[in-house]
Amino acid sequence: MNEYVTLTINGSKVKTPQGTSVLDAALSYGICIPHLCHMPGISPIGACRLCIVEVVKNGKSKVTTSCTLEVEEGMVILAHTERILKARKNIAEMLVAEAPNSRAIQDIALRCGVKEVRYPFRNKDCVLCGRCVRICAETWQSKSLGFVGRGSERHVALPFDKRPEFCKQCNDCINVCPMTITPCPGPMKKGEEFFCGLCESQLSMAENIVDTCVDCRLGEGFNCLRAKNK
């Protein structure tokens, strides 16, 4: 059985075990695809949409999230086309406007090239990445957290808003939450939010070579695979 497959990401040949997601394959090769809801070892949900890439097949390209896309032999992936970069930057801008009080999200926005935030800030406590929900259900088999409500009413909640007996009190929901690390300038009050951008110097190299991981340290906040392995 062919256990390894070879695919092309941004023109580079990448060899990776079968069953890997395109995002993991790219990250392990040092190709930077920003991501938020993705966690290694936890099933993907494709909610944040930051890791979108173009898959080229039969001359047509389709946009999909690389975290949910499994590698296939001969696959051609374009992770940083102009179209993708523009949409990704816009999504990052939306995210930072939703929740500016997160270093992870501020970092992602910077990494995606956001220079200013044109939407009014909302300063929410949760961006519904579902990291807590999934780690609780999958790693701990506990399902103490879940999504409740639809659309704009969607939120993460405990069953009947009470900590259930089967909660293992592992605190992993807090550990993986992108909202727990406040931005470097400190917590931002309502009405006083801003786009941080302090680490811009980290990006002096990356701006010209968008697709390369420059070990920018920005990933630490959001558990970037590279930053974690260092």
Would you tell me which residues interact with other proteins (CB under 8 A)? 45-50, 52, 63-65, 68-70, 83, 86-88, 90-91, 94-95, 97-98, 118-120, 127-128, 147, 149-154
Closest approach of other proteins to the CB of residue 201, in Å: 27
Q: Which is nearer to other proteins, 22 or 210 (CB)?
A: 22
Angle at 142 between CA 139 and CA 147, to 5 degrees: 95
Instruction: Report, in angstroms and rounded to the nearest whole number, the Rg of the chain calculated over CA atoms.
Output: 18
Shorter beta-carbon distance to other proteins: residue 160 or 208: 160
- Nearer Cβ to other proteins (76/87): 87
Query: CB-wise, 129 or 213, nearer to other proteins?
Result: 129
Would you say the C-alpha torsion 187, 113, 125, 136 has a positive or negative sign?
negative
- Shortest distance, CB of residue 176 to other proteins, whole angstroms? 18
As measured in angstroms, the least distance from the Cβ of 217 to other proteins is 24
Closest CA to 35 of 229, 230, 218: 218
Which CB atom, from 61 or from 202, has the smaller least distance to other proteins? 61
CA distance readout (Å), 167 to 124, 154, 158, 175: 25, 22, 10, 15
Contact between 21 and 64 under an 8 Å Cβ cutoff? The reply is no
Angle at 18 between CA 14 and CA 19, to 5 degrees: 115
Q: For tokens 């999200």, name the residue.
A: 105
CA distance 198 to 106: 10
Nearest approach, Cβ of 66 to other proteins (angstroms)? 10
To the nearest whole angstrom, how small is the minimum distance from the Cβ of residue 129 to other proteins? Answer: 9
Ramachandran assignment for 223, one of left (phi > 0), alpha (psi -120 to 50 degrees), beta (any other): left
CB of 59 to other proteins, least distance (A): 18
- Of 122 and 228, CB closest to other proteins: 122
